[in-house]
Every structure is written in structure tokens, then in C-alpha cells.
Amino acid sequence: MAKVTIDGIEVEVADGTTILNAARQIGGEVVPPAMCYYSTLKDTGGKCRVCLVKVTQGSAKDPRPMPKLVASCRTPVMDGMVVQNITSPEVLEARKGVVEFLLLNHPLDCPVCDQAGECDLQNLSYEHGVGKTRYEEDRRTFEKIDIGDKIKLHMTRCILCYRCTFVADQLTNERVHGVLNRGDASEISTYIEKAVDNDFSGNMIDVCPVGALTDKTFRFKSRVWFTKPLDAHRNCDKCCGKVVLWTKGDDVLRVSARKDQFNEVKEYICNECRYDHKDMKDWTVEGPRHIDRHSVISQNHYEKIDMQKLKLDIDRQLTFQKGKQLPETTNS
């Protein structure tokens, strides 16, 4: 076990845990954002640089600070490590810079993008971005292509997180797409159009943090915040069968895997569940999906407060704050 202090909050985690995952155990504001790291995909992370944090004390044995900001998603904690995330102006400045870089060539076509409302980049820019761009030149553009019969690729929107290539490597038998070219000309592509065809390829859509990979069966059907998400399941021999149905009335518009609070899929689903069962009759509905009330999808329709969960949240906060006074709650 290793004791690590992140933004003044101490937490004890297993050896080999990354700084990011230690922060996730604390939860709340101190969790660095992550655009390329994905907990259920091996070797992801380190590329987008939004999770950079400052290590002010390397470990109890060697208290020297680390010379540069480090990618928290790939740096393991050491016993006695002291990390600054939101308490370091340097980190916030660097993060602002990275968000600016990510948006440099991003088309910002959120009004017509299917990902809007559940887009990690959108959330990130709300928090760390600025209203105006300093970039005057033309943005790079690519043609939209079909990389499978059910997936549309808008390379223009891609931030090159490499997550979808890891999905193809780790969930499917054969990877047929990858990164071509280099620098800001690099693109996710297949050599042969519509080449992506296997049972778990649909998960590439779920792991994509932006609207680069979208579900062709859902494109332009509805804004996500006009749909009602329901937890549902079915007996599937290929996958866990646990999904979220995005419905409008009795129509199932989209089926996706369930994402946790960090927007990550823990249990992947197969293409059959995703594309071939868009009928309420095929599913056992468990109830409405919990949507974070800050999410635009919730459209201010707050679900009833789960008193048990609230108590858990408060207890957890109290344990970590160790008797520090909590900020006053305001009724919103």
C-alpha cells in the first residue's frame, strides 16, 4: 500500500496504482480529466496530456519534486508522494494550453454533431477552454468516411486519442484500422473502406471521446438530451447484455454500453445488442438511467434524491476531509 496526498487530501492505494486512479478513489474535483486514458483498455493514456499534474514530492524516500509535469494516467504513485492538481496554477495553465491545442483543429460543429451533450471534449472546453480562438488559419479537414457498415468516421473531429485502435486490438480478433501519416496530418483510417466488420467493433463508438466515430443507425435521429435513457438487459451469449436504451416514447433510438461516472465503459457489448435489437420487447427494462445532474442530458429533470447514495457521498467526503469543515451547501 502507498499513501499519497493529492491536493491536500490523503488516500491510501495499492502499489502500482496510477496517480489518476488514486485521485478517482478520492473522487470529486481533484480527479484530473482524461481524454485518451481508458481504464478498461490496456496501455491507453499518456497521449492527450490533459491529465498533467505536478508532483511536488516524489516519495517519502526521495522527496525531490519531479522536474516536469507528469501524465497522471501513466505515472504510478509512490509511498509519500505529494501531488498537486487543481491547487497548482502551473497545472491549470498547462491544461488550458492543452485544451487550446485540442480545439485548434477541431471543427466545433457541436450544433450538428451527434456527440454533443455527451462529449468529453465539450465538457473539458467548458471547464478549461476560452471563448475565443487565437488560431487564424484554416483548420485541417478530412472527408467523412464509412469505416464499417455501421460506423461513420469524421476524422476532422478526431483528437487522436488512439482509444479505438486499442479497442480493435484488445476486443476484436483483428485490427484493420490504425493511424496513417504523422504530425497534424495523421488520421485514423482503414486502407479499405468499410473494412471494420466484427462483433465488438461498435464499442469504438462508445470509447470515442468526441464525435469522430458515430453510430450510423443513430445519426441525426435526435439530440441526446431529448432522449430518455433506460437501463436494460437481455440474455446475450456474446456479451454481458447490460445496456442503456436511449428512447423516445416507445421507440428505441440507440443502444449503448453503460458508462460509469468517468464516462468509461466497464462492460463492453456486442454489435448484435447494439444494432439488431431496437425494440422494447427484446429488453427487460430495469429503470431510468442515472444521469449526473450537471450533464446536459438531464435537462434539469433531476431524479429524486437517493438518500442512501447522498449519505454515502457525505460520509466519504467526511472521511477524506478528516473533520475539515465542509463548504456550505447552497440550494440550487
Residue selected from 20, 77, 81, 94 as contacting other proteins according to rule CB under 8 A = 94
Site string for other proteins, 168-197 (x = CB under 8 A): ----------xx-xxxxxx-----------
* Of 17-25, 46-54, 214-222, 226-234: span binding other proteins (CB under 8 A): 46-54
Which sign does the torsion angle of CA 86, 90, 94, 100 carry? Answer: positive
Number of H helices, E strands in the chain: 7, 14
Q: How far is the CB of 15 from other proteins (least distance, A)?
A: 15
* Of 23-31, 65-73, 113-121, 312-320: span binding other proteins (CB under 8 A): 65-73
Adjacent-strand bridge partners of 153: 145, 213
Q: Dihedral angle at the C-alpha atoms of 47, 48, 51, 52, nearest 10 degrees?
A: 70
Residue selected from 137, 237, 250, 328 as contacting other proteins according to rule CB under 8 A = 137
For residue 60 the three cell numbers come to 517519502
> What Å distances lie between residue 163 and 236, 261, 266, CA to CA?
25, 18, 14
**For residues 166 and 200, which CB has a smaller minimum distance to other proteins in the complex?**
166
**For residues 27 and 76, which CB has a smaller minimum distance to other proteins in the complex?**
76
* Burial profile 220-236: b = 16 or more Cβ within 10 angstroms, e = fewer: ebeebbebbbbbbbeee
Q: How far is the CB of 101 from other proteins (least distance, A)?
A: 4
Q: Dihedral angle at the C-alpha atoms of 106, 190, 167, 26, nearest 10 degrees?
A: -10
What CA–CA distance (Å, rounded) separates 247 from 278? 10
What CA–CA distance (Å, rounded) separates 267 from 145? 28
Adjacent-strand bridge partners of 243: 232, 257
- What DSSP letter does each residue of 118-151 carry, written as one string? S-HHHHHHHHH--SS----SPPP----EESBSSE
Residue selected from 27, 46, 58, 107 as contacting other proteins according to rule CB under 8 A = 46
Q: How far is the CB of 74 from other proteins (least distance, A)?
A: 5
Q: How far is the CB of 49 from other proteins (least distance, A)?
A: 5
71 binds other proteins (CB under 8 A): yes
Residue selected from 26, 52, 147, 265 as contacting other proteins according to rule CB under 8 A = 52
55 binds other proteins (CB under 8 A): no
* Of 4-12, 98-106, 241-249, 290-298: span binding other proteins (CB under 8 A): 98-106
| Count of residues of this chain found to bind other proteins when the rule CB under 8 A is applied | 35
Q: Are strands 242-248 and 228-233 parallel, antiparallel or unpaired?
A: antiparallel
74 binds other proteins (CB under 8 A): yes
Strand ranges (E), 30-86: 52-57, 70-71, 81-84
Q: How far is the CB of 211 from other proteins (least distance, A)?
A: 17
Adjacent-strand bridge partners of 242: 233
Q: How far is the CB of 147 from other proteins (least distance, A)?
A: 18
98 binds other proteins (CB under 8 A): yes
Residue selected from 18, 85, 105, 190 as contacting other proteins according to rule CB under 8 A = 105
Order of strands, sheet of 151-153, starting from the edge strand that comes earlier in the sequence? 145-146, 151-153, 213-215
* Of 95-103, 144-152, 279-287, 306-314: span binding other proteins (CB under 8 A): 95-103
Q: Which residues bind other proteins (CB under 8 A)?
A: 45-50, 52, 68-69, 71, 74, 93-94, 97-98, 100-102, 104-105, 134-137, 159-160, 162, 178-179, 181-186
